[in-house]
Amino acid sequence: MTPTHEYSEKLWQEALQHFPGGVNSPVRAFRGVGGTPFFTQRAKGSRLWDVDGNEYIDYVGSWGPMILGHAHPQVVRAVQEAARDGTSFGTPNPREIRLAQLVREAFPSMQKIRFVNSGTEATMSAIRLARGFTKRDKILKFEGCYHGHADALLVKAGSGGATFDVPDSAGVPADFARNTLTLPLNDFAALDTVNWREIACAIIEPIPANMGLIPLKPGFLEKLRKVTQDNGALLILDEVISGFRVARGGAQELFGIQADLTTLGKIIGGGLPVGAFGGRADVMDLLAPTGPVYQAGTLSGNPLAMGAGIATLEELSHSGAYEKLERRAASLGDEWKKIVKGHSVRIGSLFCTFFTDCEVVDYASAKTSDTKRYAKFFHAMLNRGVYLAPSQFEVGFLSLAHTETDIEETLRAAAEAVGKL
C-alpha cells in the first residue's frame, strides 16, 4: 500500500510561503525526482519517521555525517553535557583541542587545523590561504566536483582541454570565474595543458561524490600531486565527504597521498554544523592572527559541535569499526549491482547507481544517465520504505547502524522497484 503524506503536503504548502522553493537547501525540494518532499519528525539508528508516521530505512544520513546512525547515545550525551556548560562562549574551549587531536591522529598531513562551520567555509578559506601563500590568483578545479557555494567555485564545467569558464550561478561576477580553471576529470593529457606556474592551487575531491560516485583512474591523483609539487602550486584535497567515511584517514589513507591542505566537514561534527581545514604548518601559520591571511568565525569551535565530533571520532577509533562498515557495505553493494540495472559504483560505505549503459568516468559520462528512470526508481523505493538520495547525482551513505535486516529489506524493495520499472 502506498504510504500517505497528508501532513507533509500541508507543511510543504506552508513552507513555500516562508522559504524560497520551500526549502533551506535546494536538493531537499525533490526537484531532481519530482513530487513533494516528506518532513521528518524524528530519527534513530538507521531509520527516519516522517510527520505522517511513515518509516524509512535511511541511506542519506543527513548527507553523510550520520556514520554512527541517528541519535547515537554517545553523541546525544556529549551534546547534552556540552549544552549544560553553555552553547557558545566566543573564547577558546578545551573541546577544540581534543577534537583537533583526533583529527590530526587520523590525518598526519594536517599539521595545524582551523575549525569553521561548514564545508563551504572550509574550502573557501583554504583557497584564500593558498592564494596568500603562493601569491598567485588562479585556481584549478575539475568538472563536476563540488566544493561548496563560494563564488570562485561556482563555475560551469569546461569542455575539452583547459578553459577558463563562466559562472554557474547568477550573482557571481564573471571576473571571479576568470581566475578559476576547469579541467575534465580523469583526463591525464589535460593536466599537461596547464601553465602550473601561475596556479595557486588545485582542488579536487579525491573520491568525487557530487556528480554521483566516480572513482579516479589509477595514477591520476598521483600525477596531480607531482605537477603541483614540481611547480610550487598547492594541492587541496576536499575530503568533506570522504574524510572519516571511506577510512579513518580518508582518501589520503586509502591512496597514500598527502595534501598540502585538506578540507573536512560532515562527520567531524557528528551531525552538527562544522567544518575544518588544515595542512602544512608553514602554510597554516599565514592565517591571522599570526599571518596576513584573514579568516574568522564567531561560532567556530562551537562547544556543542566539538562535543558531538569528539564522541563520533572516538567511536570510530574503536577497533573493528571500519571493518564492520565495509562488511555491511559489501553485503549491500554486491547484491545491489545484480538487482539494479545500470552502472553501480561502491567505494567503502558510499554507493550509487547511474541509469546508463556506459562506464562513468567523468562529468560528461555521468550526465548520460537517465534521470527520469532514476526518479521512478527513487519513488518506487520510497513507497517501499527506503529513502535514497533525491537526485541521480548524489550518493548513498551506509552507517554502522544499518543491520543485516535493513539490507535484506532494502534489496527486496529494490527487486520489486526494478520490476515496476
Distance between CA atoms of residues 195 and 298, nearest Å: 38
Question: Could you confirm whether 223 is annotated as catalytic?
Answer: no
Distance between CA atoms of residues 221 and 412, nearest Å: 38
Length of the chain counted residue by residue: 421
CB 206 within 8 A of CB 257: yes
Closest CA to 180 of 197, 195, 196, 163: 163
Helix (H) or strand (E) holding 415: helix 404-420
- In the set 50, 187, 238, 362, the catalytic residue is 238
Closest CA to 271 of 84, 381, 399, 147: 399
- Bond from prior residue into 92 cis (ω within 30 degrees of 0): no
- Other beta carbons within 10 angstroms of residue 93's beta carbon come to 18
Distance between CA atoms of residues 363 and 190, nearest Å: 15
Q: What is the 3-state secondary structure (H, E, C) of 145-175?
A: CCCCCCHHHCECCCCCCCEECCECCCCCCHH
Helix (H) or strand (E) holding 80: helix 73-85
Angle 55-70-107 from CA coordinates, rounded to 5°: 145
- In the set 59, 146, 363, 374, the catalytic residue is 146
Question: Could you confirm whether 146 is annotated as catalytic?
Answer: yes
Q: Which amino acid is at 36?
A: T
- Other beta carbons within 10 angstroms of residue 189's beta carbon come to 9
Question: Could you confirm whether 238 is annotated as catalytic?
Answer: yes
- In the set 141, 187, 266, 406, the catalytic residue is 266
Give the residue numbers annotated as catalytic, written as ranges.
146, 238, 266
